[in-house]
Amino acid sequence: MFKELKIIGKPTPKHDAHIRVTGKAVYGHDIVLPGMLYGAILRTEHPSAEFTIDISAAKKIPGVVCIITADDIDTNNISYKRDHPILKKGEVNCIRDEIAAIAAETKEIAQQALKLIKVKYKIRKGIYGPFEALKEDAPQINKFISGKFQNKNIAETFHYEHGNLEEEKKKSAAIVKRRFTLPRMTHACMGTSNITASYNKTDGKLLLYSSTQVPFLYQRDMAHALKMNPSDIRIIQPVIGGGFGSKLDMYPFEPICALLSMKTGRPVQIIYSREEEFIASPTRQPMIIDLTAGVDKKGNFTFREINIVKDNGAYTSWGATTPFVIMQAFSSLYKVGACMFDATAVYTNNVFAGSFRGYGNPQATFALERMIDLLAEEIGMDKAEIRLLNANEKGETTGQGLHYETCGHKECLETVITKSKLKTQKSEVSKHSSKKSTQKRFVSGIGYASMLHVGGGAKIYRSDGCGTTLKIDPYGYCTIITGSNEIGQGSETVLAMIASEELGIDLKKIKVINTDTDIKPWDVGVHASRTSFVAGNSLLGAIKILKEKLNKKANELLKTSDEEFEYENGFIKSSISGNSIALDKVVREMHFSHPNELAIASYFYEPSSQVQNKEYKGNVSGTYAFASQAIEVEVDTYTGNVSVKNVWVAQDVGKVLNPLLLDGQIHGGILQGMGYALSEELLMKDGKILNPNFHNYKMLTASDIPEIDFFPIETNDKQGPYGAKGVGEAPLIPTAAAIANAVCNALDIDIIELPITPEKVLKAIHKNI
Amino acid sequence: MSFEIINPTTTKELLSVVKNLKRKKFRFGAGCTDLLLELRKKPEENLTVINITQVKDAVFTGIKKTSKGLTIGSRVTAHNIVMNEEIKRNFPVLHEAALNLASTQIRQVATVGGNLCTASPSGDIACALMTLGANCEIINENGRRRRIPIHDFHTGVRATALKRGELLYSISIRGNEKNKKRIFSRFIKIGTRKSMECSVVSLAYHIQTDIKGKIIHAGIAIGSSAPTIRSTDSACKFLAGKNIFEISENEKKEFAEKVVGYASPISDIRATAWYRKEVLYNISKGIFEDILSNEE
Ligand SMILES: Cc1cc2nc3c(=O)[nH]c(=O)nc-3n(C[C@H](O)[C@H](O)[C@H](O)COP(=O)(O)OP(=O)(O)OC[C@H]3O[C@@H](n4cnc5c(N)ncnc54)[C@H](O)[C@@H]3O)c2cc1C
C-alpha cells in the first residue's frame, strides 16, 4: 500500500541542529531591544501572611523607571479557573507570590531596588497538606473561586465510572488496596523562564517574545488578563530552551512584564535566575492515590477503584486537569471490567503544580503497574504472564470509549519480556561463576510496566486542529507556515521531511515558519504528544491541494493529462510519458503566465476524535500509543543505591518518521523517568522550597544513563501521517513503575512512594530483617 | 557579587600582592568553584580576589617525585591528578577521589589547594590525602614556610590552620613502605548520582601489606560524617599486623564500629544522621569483601 519512502524513516539530523550546537540560536535570553529595561519581581518571604508594602525608598534609586504593586494595575485574574491574581494584594498564599515588580535601566539596579522595598508581614499558620485543608475548620485558602464544591478548599473534582463494580468485586479471587504517594518533580528546563514585552503606546499594540508552548491560547489568556483585544497582541517565540509541559500555562511574570512595558512605554525583559526557576516555575502534580483493585483466579483484572487527592497549591493551573489522562490509564490500560474513579484537587499554601510531560500518566501508571505486581503475587501468577493475559487489543473499544484502531500493546510486552529474559538469563550465569562473595551485597531485580497515552492529539478544546499554509517560490524553495510550534522536540524537522518526501524538494530548500501569531494559522499548541500527528496531517493536506495546482500546470506544460506525477529531485515527472519538468519552472509559469496563480495552499486539519461527554466518555484521540518497558536494576544493600542496569523499551509509534529524533525522545524520556523514580523531588517544608538548586535537586546526568535497547513497534495507523502516532511523552511514563517493580523484585519490599531514594531503600531493608 | 581581581604571575609578585593587601579584605581564588558560590551567598563589599592560577612556579603548579615520595603543588587541578600515572599506580585512593569529583568541566579548574582550604567535611581530595599522611607546606607573605601534618590543617567546620597572609603552597606525601608488596587503596563515595555529586558519606582507605596480606600500614579517613574530615586512627591501629584476607566477621564488625566511632554526622536534606552512620558501618565492613572479591 505504501510507496517506498526516501526520507521518512531515515535518520535525519535536526533542522536547527547547527545553530543550536554553535551557540547561534537566539533564545529569549539573547534578545536585546532598543531602550530595553530590565524587570525584576519581588516575591513574598512567607507562604501565608498578610502584608503591607512601602516602595518609597526603592523608587528613589536612580535608574529605577517603574515600580508596580497590586494597587497600580487594572487586570483580570489568570489561570483557567481565574483564581490567580497577577500581583497579590494584602495577602500572600504561597512562596511564589508576586507582590511588586520593578523595571530599571540595568539588572543590577533592579536587584538593588528590590531589596529596598519594605514589606511588613503578619505571618499566618498556613496549610501545607491537602487533608488538613479539607478539614471543616480550615480557613479558605483561595478567595477567588466560585465555591461550587462542597468544601471551600476544593479547586476541582472528577468522577468517572464504567462497569458493575460490585459484581466485579464478587468475581475477584484477590483484592489489594494500597495508598501511593507521588512527589513534586520540576521540569528544570535548561533555559530559564523569560519574556520580553514591547508595548507601543502609539497604536496600543503589544509585542511579546515568549517561550509559551501554546501561543494562540496564550494570546487569548494574555488579552483577558490585560483587558485587551487578543489580536492586538502579537506573540513571537524565540528558540525555546525546554518545555516539557512547563509552558502550557501563563504565569504572573508574563503579564507583569507586559504591564511594566505598558506603563513605561519601553521594552521590558524578565529572565529568571536558576534559583527563581526552581521556586517559581511549576512542578508535576503531587498526589496521593488510593487504589483498590481485583483479579479473578485465572488472572483477569476485574475492577479498579481509585480515589485521588491532589495538592493543588494556592492557585489552579492546567495541572489540575491531569485526571483527564489519569482516568484513561485506570479505565483503559489493560482490559478491566469495572472502574470507579474520583479525583479531587485541593488548595493548600504550597506552590502550585502545572502540566508536565505525561500529564498525570506517570503517577497513574506507577500506581497501576505496582498494583499489577501485587495482584500477581496474591494469586501466584507470573508477572509477565498476567500482563500478556490482560493486554489491550486491536479493535478494542474500552469502557471509556477509547477505540484502538491499531494497538501494539501485546507486541510491546512480548518484545520487552523476551529481550530482557534473554539477557538476564545470560548474566545470571556469569554472575554465578565470578564475584561470589559480593552476591549478598548486590541484588538484581527485573520489573515490567506498560503505558497507554493519546497518540493522535487530545480533543479537550473545541478543536484539536492545526492549520498550514504552504508555498513554493519561483526558485523551487518551499516554505511551510505551520500553526504548530517547535519547543525542541523536532517537529520542524519532521515537517520538513514530509514536505521533502512529497514534493521532491531537497531538505536544505525547505523553510519552516512557526514562530509568529501574526503570520501563522491557528493551532492548539504543543501538548499531548500531538505535533507530528496533527501538524503532519495538516501539512499533508496542504501538500495535496498544492500538488493539484502544480499537476494542472505541469500537464499544461508537458502537454499530458496525468493524474499522478512523481516529484523527485526538484522535478515533476509524468508517470505515463516519463517526461519531466523542473518544479521551479512550473512555479514560475504559474506565477508569471496566465491565469497568474500563486503556488500556495492552505489546509486546516481536524482529527476525527471527539470531545468527551460529561461522563468523560468518548474517543478523545485520533489514535493511541502503547509502550512497555522491562528494567533491570541492581540494588546495593549496603547503601540502598539503586543502579539501573538495563532498559528494554518497546513502543508502538505507529511508524518511525525519524529514527534519530525518536531515539532522542526515548533516551531523554527514560532519564527523566529515572529521575522521577529515583532521585528528583522538590523538597518542601511549611510551604518553603528547601532545594532550589541542582546541587540538591538531584536531576540525573549523562553518567547515569543505562544500557537502553529500543524496539519501535510499527502498527501503521491509518489516521497518522504515514501511519505515525505521537511519541513524545510515552518514554517517561512507565519508567518509574518498572523501576519500582524491579526494586521490589530484587528485595522483596513494597514500594508505594517515589522517589526511591537510597535512604528509603535502606530503611525498607531494615524493616525486612 | 562584585570584586576586584589581581592576577600575579610570579611567586614574588604574589607575595608582594598579599603584603600590600594584608590590611584590606582579600581572598585567594584558584578554580573558584567554591569561592564564587560562597560570595554569591554572602557578598562582600570592597573585596579583592587574588587569582593564583596565573602564577608560574614549578612547585606550586606541578606534581613532582622526590626521594621521600611525592610533592603536589596546591594549584594542581583535579584533572592533573587524574592524568598522573604515578598517582594512579601508587595512590589509587587519590586518583579515584579526583576522578569522581564533580564533572569533567569542574575537574579542569578545581584545585587541590582549594579543596583543602575550603575545609568542607565533604572534600574528596582532602579526605584521600588524609589516608596518605600528607604534610602541608604553608607560605606567608614574607616567603617564610612552615609544614604541618594534614591532621592539623583542618581546625573546624570551614576553618583551617592558615593565618592571615598565609597560603597553602604544596602538599607532600610519603612514598609507600619500602617492604610493602601490595596496596589496597580506594575512595568510596556515596551519593545519589554518579556525577556532580557531593558525598553523602565517603570512606577513603590506603592499606599496605606484605606479599601474604599482612597489614603493614593502614590509612583510613571518612568524609561528610563529622564537622571535619576524620582520620580513623584507632581503626587503623586495629588492623595493623592482621592479615587482610583473613579478617573474621567479628573483626570486620569491630573495625566498622571503630570507624563509625569517629562519625558524628548531622541530618540535613541530603540524608539523615542515621543513614550516614548506617552506610558508613556497612561500607567499612565491605572493604574486606571488596578486597576478597577482587582477588578472585
Ligand atoms: C558543581 C560542583 C560540584 C562539586 N563537586 C565536588 C566533589 O564531588 N567533591 C569535592 O570534594 N568537591 C566538590 N566541589 C567543590 C570544589 O569544586 C572543590 O572543593 C575544589 O577542589 C575547590 O577548588 P578551587 O580551586 O575551585 O577552590 P576555590 O574556590 O578557588 O577556593 C576555595 C577556598 O580555598 C581558598 N584557597 C584556594 N586556594 C588556596 C591556597 N592555595 N591557599 C590558601 N587558600 C586557598 C579560597 O580562598 C577559598 O576560600 C564541587 C563544586 C561544584 C561547584
d(CA A107, ligand 1 centre) in Å: 28
Please indicate, yes or no, if residue A143 is contained in any of the structural domains: no
DSSP string, A492-560: HHHHHHHHHHHH---GGGEEEE-SBTTTSPPB--S-TT-HHHHHHHHHHHHHHHHHHHHHHHHHHHHT-
Separation of first and last alpha carbons in chain B: 55
Residues A223, A112, single domain; the answer is yes
A408: closest CA of chain B, how far (Å): 34
Partner-chain contact B275 A690, CB within 8 Å: no
* Grid cell locating B75: 594549584
CA dist., res. A620 & res. A630, Å (int): 28
d(CA B110, ligand 1 centre) in Å: 6
DSSP string, A271-285: E--HHHHHHHS-BPP
Residues B11, B118, single domain; the answer is no
pLDDT for A694 = 95
Q: Catalytic one among A634, A729, A753, A759? A: A729
Q: Is A729 a catalytic residue?
A: yes
Residues B170, B70, single domain; the answer is yes
Residues A402, A318, single domain; the answer is yes
Phi/psi of residue A660, nearest 5 degrees: -65, -50
Residues A257, A234, single domain; the answer is yes
pLDDT for A254 = 98
Residues A480, A360, single domain; the answer is no
The residue nearest atom 53 of ligand 1, judged by CA position, is B33
Which residues of chain B make contact with A436, given a CB cutoff of 8 A?
A: 293, 296
Partner-chain contact B193 A704, CB within 8 Å: yes
Question: What is the pLDDT confidence band of residue B171, given thresholds at 50, 70 and 90?
Answer: very high
Residues A342, A423, single domain; the answer is yes
Please indicate, yes or no, if residue A712 is contained in any of the structural domains: yes
State which of B143, B174, B205 marks the end of a domain.
Answer: B174
Please indicate, yes or no, if residue A510 is contained in any of the structural domains: yes
- Structure confidence by residue, pLDDT tens digits, A337-380: 999 999 999 999 999 999 999 999 999 999 999 999 999 999 99
Residues A263, A294, single domain; the answer is no
Residues A35, A95, single domain; the answer is yes
Question: What is the pLDDT confidence band of residue A547, given thresholds at 50, 70 and 90?
Answer: very high
Q: Average of pLDDT values for B273-289?
A: 97
Domain range for B106: 58-174
- For ligand 1, say whether the CB of B71 is within 6 Å of any of its atoms: no
Residues A91, A211, single domain; the answer is yes
Residues A481, A434, single domain; the answer is no
State which of A583, A605, A627 marks the end of a domain.
Answer: A605
Helix (H, G, I), strand (E, B) or coil at A316: coil
The secondary structure of residue A71, as a DSSP letter, is: G
pLDDT for A767 = 87
- For ligand 1, say whether the CB of B32 is within 6 Å of any of its atoms: yes
Residues B189, B251, single domain; the answer is yes
pLDDT for A146 = 75
Domain range for A84: 31-122+190-242+247-280
* Count of structural domains within chain B: 3
Q: List Cβ neighbours of A212 (8 Å cut-off, separation of 6 or more).
A: A218, A235, A237, A247, A250, A525
DSSP string, A671-717: HHHHHHHHT----EETTEES--STTTS----GGG--EEEEEEE----
| DSSP H/E element including B54 | none
Q: List Cβ neighbours of B225 (8 Å cut-off, separation of 6 or more).
A: B121, B201, B262, B263, B264, B265, B276, B277, B280
d(CA B80, ligand 1 centre) in Å: 15
pLDDT for A549 = 96
Residues B74, B143, single domain; the answer is yes
CA dist., res. B22 & res. B142, Å (int): 11
CATH number assigned to the domain comprising residue A488: 3.30.365.10
Residues B194, B289, single domain; the answer is yes
Q: Which of B33, B59, B193 to mutate to test the pocket of ligand 1 (most atoms within 8 A of CB)?
A: B33
Residues of A with CB under 8 A from a CB of B: 434-438, 441, 638-641, 678-679, 683, 690-691, 694-696, 698, 700-704, 757-759, 762, 766
* Count of structural domains within chain A: 3
Beta strands in B132-200 (DSSP E): 135-139, 145-149, 154-156, 159-160, 167-174, 182-190
Residues B62, B89, single domain; the answer is yes
Helix (H, G, I), strand (E, B) or coil at B275: helix
Specify the residue for cell string 549523562: A702
pLDDT for A508 = 96
Question: What is the pLDDT confidence band of residue A427, given thresholds at 50, 70 and 90?
Answer: low
- Structure confidence by residue, pLDDT tens digits, B32-77: 999 999 999 999 999 999 999 999 999 999 999 999 999 999 999 9
pLDDT at residue A87 is higher than 50:
yes
Q: Average of pLDDT values for A54-63?
A: 98
Residue of A nearest to B285 (CA): A638
Residues A103, A54, single domain; the answer is yes
| Mean pLDDT (chain A, rounded) | 95
CA dist., res. A491 & res. A512, Å (int): 10
Please indicate, yes or no, if residue A756 is contained in any of the structural domains: yes
CA dist., res. B133 & res. B165, Å (int): 25
Which residues of chain A make contact with B265, given a CB cutoff of 8 A?
A: none
CA dist., res. A100 & res. B88, Å (int): 56
Please indicate, yes or no, if residue A531 is contained in any of the structural domains: yes
Residues B187, B290, single domain; the answer is yes
Residues A356, A261, single domain; the answer is no
Please indicate, yes or no, if residue A131 is contained in any of the structural domains: no
pLDDT at residue A435 is higher than 60:
no
For residue A294, how many other CB atoms are within 10 A of its CB?
26
Which residues of chain B make contact with A438, given a CB cutoff of 8 A?
A: 289-290, 293
- Structure confidence by residue, pLDDT tens digits, B214-225: 999 999 999 999
Residues B62, B116, single domain; the answer is yes
CATH number assigned to the domain comprising residue B288: 3.30.390.50
- Structure confidence by residue, pLDDT tens digits, A579-608: 999 999 999 999 999 999 999 999 999 999
State which of B174, B201, B223 marks the end of a domain.
Answer: B174
pLDDT at residue A428 is higher than 70:
no
Any chain A CB within 8 A of the CB of B18? no
Residues A335, A400, single domain; the answer is yes
pLDDT at residue A2 is higher than 60:
no
- For ligand 1, say whether the CB of B110 is within 6 Å of any of its atoms: yes
- For ligand 1, say whether the CB of B198 is within 6 Å of any of its atoms: yes
Question: What is the pLDDT confidence band of residue B181, given thresholds at 50, 70 and 90?
Answer: confident
Nearest CB to B193 within list A639, A701, A762: A701
d(CA A691, ligand 1 centre) in Å: 21
- In this structure, chain A runs to a length of 769
Interface probe, candidates A111, A276, A639, chain B, greatest B C-beta count within 10 A: A639
CA dist., res. B241 & res. B222, Å (int): 22
- For ligand 1, say whether the CB of B31 is within 6 Å of any of its atoms: yes
Which residues of chain B make contact with A700, given a CB cutoff of 8 A?
A: 193
- Structure confidence by residue, pLDDT tens digits, A248-285: 999 999 999 999 999 999 999 999 999 999 999 999 99
- Structure confidence by residue, pLDDT tens digits, A497-539: 999 999 999 999 999 999 999 999 999 999 989 999 999 999 9
Specify the residue for cell string 503532519: A536
